[in-house]
Amino acid sequence: MPHSIYKLFLTGLIFTSTQLYAANYDFTPGLWELTTTSEGTIIDATPEMKQILEQGGSLKPATYTNKACFIKFNLLDNEDGDDCPKNIKRINANHATFESNCRDTNQPTHSVGEFHLNGKTFTFAQEIESYSDNLSLKTTMTGSGKYLGPCK
């Protein structure tokens, strides 16, 4: 899966929000390990693009793990000028769903997903559909986070 989609997901998911905070959700601030698995499926593609993706292995499942320090748990945000406005529905202190539509003219993207928070762990699932002139791609992402301790 293209690393840029993963980075875009994590950036929007964790680092930029002002709407969902630890004080309102069952979340422990500190050092967290985040693991994400992504897999792509071609919806539609030119023969050349399909061949490139299949030969390059970018559609196969890929897992990424990293660590991050969170003072507060930031999931999603709608900032001024945001190309990806988000609709967040809080179910309860442990569960939220979201939907996003990115208006990037080069590659519009639609995503839906949900989070389950449990104090020192969380899980999420998300489906992302992106479209361009020569490729329509569906990416499925699942992941988890676990609290490691205070930030160092």
pLDDT (tens, 9 = 90+) of the chain, 152 residues, equals 444 454 445 444 443 333 344 446 788 889 999 999 999 888 888 888 888 877 776 678 889 999 998 876 665 555 556 677 778 887 787 888 889 888 766 778 889 999 898 889 999 999 999 888 888 889 999 999 999 999 98
Q: Do the bridges between strand 135-149 and strand 30-45 make them parallel or antiparallel, or are there none, so unpaired?
A: antiparallel
Is 89 a member of any domain? yes
In the chain, how many domains are there? 1
DSSP state letter for 136? E
**Cβ atoms of 14 and 141 closer than 8 Å:** no
- Domain contains 137: yes
Report residue 147 as tokens: 């609290």
Q: Is residue 44 part of a domain?
A: yes
How many other C-beta atoms lie within 10 A of the C-beta of residue 79?
11
Determine the pLDDT at residue 73. 61
- pLDDT on residue 19: 39
Global pTM value: 0.70
CATH code, domain carrying 18: 2.40.160
Return the pLDDT at 144.
95
Report yes or no: 22 and 138 within 8 Å, Cβ to Cβ: no
Q: Identify the burial level of 82 via C-beta atoms within 10 angstroms of its C-beta, where 0-12 means exposed, 13-18 middle and 19 or more buried.
A: middle
Q: Is residue 75 a part of any domain in this protein? A: no
The reply to whether 76 falls in a domain is no
User: What does the pLDDT read at residue 18?
Assistant: 34
Q: Would residue 74 count as lying in a domain?
A: no
Domain that holds residue 61: 3-68+81-149
